[in-house]
Chains A and B, each alone.
Chain A
Amino acid sequence: MANAGAGPGSPAAHPAKAPSYTGRGGELMLLIMVALIVTGALTLVELNQSRAVSWDLLWYGGAFLVVYAIAHMVVRSVATYADPVLLPLVALLNGLGLVMIHRLDLAQKVKAITSGQPVPRAEAPVQLIWTGVALIMFLVVLMVVKHHSHLQKYAYTLALLGLIFLATPAMLSIVAPKLAPRINGANIWIRIPGFLSIQPAEFSKIALIIFAASYLVTKRTVLSTAGRKVLGIVLPRARDLAPLLIAIVAALGVLFFGKDLGTALLLFGVFLMMIYMATGRVSWLIIGLIGFSGGAYFAYTKFSHVQTRVNIWVDPFGDPTGAGYQLVQSLLGLGTGGMFGTGLGAGRPDFVPFASTDFITAALGEELGLAGLAAVLICYLLLASRGLRIGMAVKDNFGKLLAAGLGFSLAFQVFVVVGGVTRLIPLTGLTTPFLSYGGSSLLANYIILALLVRISDGSRRPAPPVAPKAPPVQLTETPTEMVPVGDLRNSAWSDSDHGDRP
């Protein structure tokens, strides 16, 4: 991609000069390409499903392009220097998700008609509305959060809100089960009757990542140096870690009782990686993994639903029509898809229960084949790498940790859900960012996108030109200043990569 040439180093090297190339033109070109790909995909679905193509498809494709072009225009005005690859990557994933959800709608419709059942509500139009809402949310976040450092002020508030939000479904399920029904064995939903359902964990995830970034930035020096050395591992001091530990334990505990294993695994992995990123200490990873192993073993021995998941993972074909049905159908679908897939609209992804949510990558793998699914995974790899890239380019540590944490969370979520669907790891149940059907997921992931766009704009935006007319100040006339040591440590310019090395 040509626009990627505007590397993060260039604005820093010449802070006074605005880069002549913002990347916005490239972004628009990429969006047009994405619109063409998505329209093509939709055309394939129509061809394979109804053997006919209508001009409507052009309208759909055009509307898709217009919606993202509006988003592009807003980015152009409020985040001019943002990474130009983020929005097109998300548009591609979101578009493919919409096409696949529409394709599954058609399958459900045929199934309902041939078996004489009432046709279920189509999911694609709902998802389309959510896409619109999510894009609006994307723009609102971009406009409200003028600079990512503003978020740091609300870190503790966000943490508290995040935890409360996270705990709500499990709590509500005790108090008012109707508002938080147990769906597929987990309490992860808040249902507002007659209106909509919210999966609060998706939003808590973001709040907790912001909190973790903020907390770790202020404590990173202590965390990376202080502590007693035991068996070659420097143990952290409890008081340094307490707030984060409390947040982690509370989050995991709540998720455990809500049986949302996927989110628990996701949050744990992201927090652990963020601690490592902040401190550079491998010992944290080791401690974390030991703790995780213990927790996982405990959960396996104590909870039947964890045992079921593990047993299915070990031997899905042991009960191919019962407990293992979903995973078996997913694997058979992927195998049938083979290298190039059955073609969009020509496979049977609807054989897999929950194909439009947890198992949407299995559906894509069946119809687009290894080639298509690999391309989708590479999109996520690019997206996550961009997040980390933005982290490296941005100058303040909060921004670094936030961008990297969000980027890593995307990749790790994809790993957990796709790993589960493809039997690499036990199935835990999570949405695939931007692809899966579901409003909460879409909304939350567009907030993540907005934050990444915002941080990347901050990292690439040239420093405001130094006022040239200021008269040179005589050094002798300036008073001396006291600089607090703590501030010095945490200020952006004092940080350097070399400083981390022991």
Chain B
Amino acid sequence: MNRTLRKTGNVVIVLIVALLLNITYIQLVKSDAYRTDPNNRRILYEESSRQRGLITATQGVVLARSDASDDSYRYQRSYPGGPAFTDLTGYYSLRYSPTGIESAQNDLLAGESADLLADRVGDFLTGRDPRGGNVELTVLPEVQQRAYDLLTAKGLTGSVVALNPQTGAILAMVSTPGYDATPLASHNDATQRTAYNDLLNIETTGAPSPLINRATSALYPPGSTFKLVVTAAALSQGYTPETPLTGVARITLPGTEGATLSNFGGETCGNSGGQDVTMTTALAYSCNTAYADLAVSIGADALKRQAAALGVNDESYNIGLPNGDRVAGGLPVKGSGVGPIVDDAALAQTGIGQRDVAMTPLQSAVIAATIANNGVRMAPYLIAKTTGPDLATLSEAKFTTANASAIPAAVAAEMKQMMITTEETTFGAGQIEGLQIASKTGTSEHGTDPKNTPPHVSYVAFAPAANPTVAIAVFIENGGDQGLAATGSRVAAPIGREVLALAIASQR
């Protein structure tokens, strides 16, 4: 019987070898396919047990970091920058899809990026846990924080964007209300869920949602700040700052049966008593009648061309925040636009930034920056550089020109002067001693009952006027703390001026 026992031994060997071959196939040949299978939740957990890279602002200020934790996930993500920076960093949660830079730069932060291949091989050979790379943002942390504080101190819902006009680097990008990302990164499932549901519940109460990045994802009627686009179009067509425009208090919209459009407060332009005024005066006093008339004179095509050159044509900027499908926090930059402009009445209303004109605060800041940069429009960007775990630079931002002649240089120079005059005639607190600012305010009606809905107010500006290093846009929803009485000069301008001054100071 030993013969058959020996043969049975061979059968046993065959059985076990079959198992061995099969697991070899699964664990070696199919390993990568299974590892990356969408049904495999292990990768998310693996990432979270790896030391994720840092997100920093300039001056080495840490906005997101991973600390060793003593539970099974090994690293705890936290956001020492606080709510002022959440719209930039986003959050990294075990339960919810990541947002912001956490999402856009996930591969790098998680150490999966192809840029980190050499590091990964090194880590593998030395037996060290793979670590993630780091992302450095362009923002000036104190400017970001101050802008956030200025908005939240008065409970304002809105946004502040500050750019370097020469490079397009985003120096601050704030959206309020903000929220704290740290509870969303908790390892406690209940904490995560509660924090997230609280954010969602805010929306159902009708209060402004903290989950929207108002700098890039909210489209507002720009109001009078749009007159800068009209001005640029007119000057490029041969108009001059001295070209006379109508100064009347009220005009009838062309092609309508008596629909009228009037200046703010129903006054004549700059107390001209209805006489013609220069374009400079019309811009400085933000005369609606003059600009409605002007828009009709230069025509819709010229206006659209100029708007497009400035990026107001549904252009979506890639500032380094996610544009892809891993977007949960509403972070891609929405495209701004002037709308269809169906007739002259629409054109007249478009000329004062109403009707279908819709712009993000970022786009408004880009317009200011383009004027400041002699008409050259730079593409805004948020990521200054990426580094490996060892802080060796992997990539550095190269600033790019979006449109080299968005506005002719001469026109830009004229506009700069007009905006300096505008700033000088603009009331509101916060003028900075010794700092010459070029600006334009906006107060835009919106809603189904515009006269009884507090207007959105805005302020776009750059400084120092002679050699601008900072351009900003401030947008405040629904009159801020001033209600129906709100104007751009009362609510937005003081904030804008302070942010400008601080940004110029901290750039040095």
A residues contacting B by CB (< 8 A) are: 48-52, 106-107, 110, 114-116, 220, 273, 276-280, 317, 320-321, 328-329, 331-339, 342, 345-348, 351, 365, 369-370, 373-374, 377-378, 380-381, 384-385, 388-389, 391-392, 397, 400-401, 404, 407-408, 411-412, 414-415, 418-419, 422-424, 495, 497, 500-501
Q: Find out whether the CB atom of B190 lies under 8 angstroms from the CB atom of A320.
A: no
Residues of B within 8 A of A338 (CB): 27-28, 31, 35
Q: Which residue of B has the minimal Cβ distance to A393?
A: B2
Among A351, A370, A404, A500, the residue within 8 A (CB) of B23 is A370
Pick from A107, A381, A500: contact of B16, CB below 8 A: A381
- Of the residues B23, B34, B68, B189, contact of A374 by C-beta under 8 Å: B23
Contacts of B385 in A (CB 8 A): none
State how many angstroms separate the Cβ of B237 from the closest Cβ of chain A: 62
A-B contact list, 25 entries, CB within 8 Å: A114-B187, A114-B189, A276-B4, A276-B8, A277-B1, A279-B4, A317-B39, A328-B39, A331-B26, A333-B42, A335-B33, A335-B35, A336-B42, A338-B27, A348-B42, A351-B42, A369-B27, A381-B12, A385-B9, A389-B9, A401-B1, A404-B5, A419-B22, A424-B19, A497-B2
Q: Is B297 an interface residue (CB 8 A)?
A: no
CA distance A121 to B93 in the complex (A): 29
Q: Are A321 and B1 closer than 8 Å at their CB atoms? A: no
CB neighbours (8 Å) of B11 from chain A are 273, 408
Within 8 A of A (CB), among B167-191: 187-190
Tell me the minimal C-beta distance from A13 to chain B in angstroms: 15
Interface set of B (CB-CB < 8 Å, partner A): 1-6, 8-9, 11-13, 15-16, 18-20, 22-24, 26-28, 30-35, 37, 39-43, 45-46, 49, 68, 70-72, 74, 187-190
Q: Judge whether B18 and A415 touch: CB under 8 Å.
A: yes
The reply to whether B19 and A332 contact each other, CB–CB distance below 8 Å, is: no
By a CB distance below 8 angstroms, the chain B residues around A381 are 12-13, 16
Return chain A residues, CB-CB under 8 Å to B37: 332, 335
Besides A220-B1, A377-B23, A497-B2, 6 new A-B residue pairs in contact (Cβ under 8 A), listed by A number: A114-B187, A334-B23, A365-B23, A377-B19, A423-B26, A500-B1
A418 and B1 form a contact (CB under 8 A)? no
Chain A hits for B43, CB < 8 A: 336
Contacts of B1 in A (CB 8 A): 220, 277-278, 280, 397, 400-401, 495, 497, 500
Chain B residues with CB under 8 A of A48:
72
B19 touches A422 (CB 8 A): yes
Decide if B27 touches A500 in the complex (CB within 8 Å).
Answer: no
In the bound assembly, the distance between CA atoms of A377 and B21 in angstroms comes to 11
Are A422 and B12 interface neighbours, CB within 8 A?
no
Give chain A nearest CB distance to B487 CB in angstroms: 51
B18 touches A424 (CB 8 A): yes
Indicate if the CB atoms of B39 and A320 lie closer than 8 Å.
Answer: yes
Return chain B residues, CB-CB under 8 Å to A342.
46
Contact at B26–A415, with CB atoms within 8 Å?
A: no
Tell me if A411 and B72 are in contact (CB < 8 A).
Answer: no
Assembly CA distance A51 to B129 (angstroms)? 14
- When the two chains form their complex, are residues B18 and A419 in contact, meaning their CB atoms are under 8 A apart? yes
A317 CA to B33 CA in the complex, in Å? 13
